[in-house]
Amino acid sequence: MKAAFAGESQAHMRYLIFANRAEAEGFPDIARLFRAVSYAEQVHATNHYGALGMIRGSSDNLQAAIAGETYEVNEMYPAFHAVAQLQNEKGAMQTLKAALEAEKIHASMYLKAKQAVDGNKDIQLGSVQVCDVCGYTVEGEAPLRCPICGASKDKFRRF
């Protein structure tokens, strides 16, 4: 079931990426097809995750998110970056470093949310801005330039 969840999750993301490319190339109906099937893959992944008993309460879900982000920051991305460095893969080094820096922020945001939930409160959250280039995430207004990749303010998506 874990492998099925992983496969469906990857298909979901892959098809969203393909949809964005199709749309950029002027194929709106192909993009819509990719998005529709991507959603179906998300339904499959959600069902598999539920069958694994992994959907829990918000406090437990936030703790799982904190653990995941912390693992990425402390173990996964440093190891992947070291391999990319040994192989002189400059593009990989750049994207891995950017992801590492963004994951630190995500872990912090999840920790704040967990503290609120554990106090039986919702988090007080303003708008959240995410850099479309590197994933840098900030509460409030987007900076003029992304502190991780240098992208301009217009490259941020508001949530």
pLDDT for 114 equals 98
Show the domain range for 93. 57-121
Check whether residue 101 and residue 70 sit in a common domain: yes
pLDDT for 112 equals 97
Check whether residue 62 and residue 109 sit in a common domain: yes
Check whether residue 38 and residue 25 sit in a common domain: yes
Helix (H, G, I), strand (E, B) or coil at 1: coil
CATH number of the domain at 159, please: 2.20.28.10
Check whether residue 73 and residue 113 sit in a common domain: yes
Domain count, the chain: 3
Check whether residue 73 and residue 109 sit in a common domain: yes
Both structure tokens of 16: 């969203």
User: Mean pLDDT over all residues of the chain?
Assistant: 97
Check whether residue 77 and residue 131 sit in a common domain: no
Residue 130: its H or E element: strand 128-131
CATH number of the domain at 66, please: 1.20.1260.10
- pLDDT bracket for residue 60 (50, 70, 90): very high
pLDDT for 27 equals 97
pLDDT for 150 equals 97
- pLDDT bracket for residue 32 (50, 70, 90): very high
Identify whether the C-beta of residue 117 lies closer than 8 Å to the C-beta of residue 58: yes
pTM of the model: 0.88
Check whether residue 82 and residue 100 sit in a common domain: yes
Q: What is the mean pLDDT of residues 69-79?
A: 98
User: Which of 12, 35, 51 marks a domain boundary?
Assistant: 51
Check whether residue 113 and residue 62 sit in a common domain: yes
Q: pLDDT exceeding 90 applies to what percent of the chain?
A: 100
Q: What is the mean pLDDT of residues 69-94?
A: 97
CA distance 59 to 64: 9
Segment 91-144, tens digit of pLDDT: 999 999 999 999 999 999 999 999 999 999 999 999 999 999 999 999 999 999
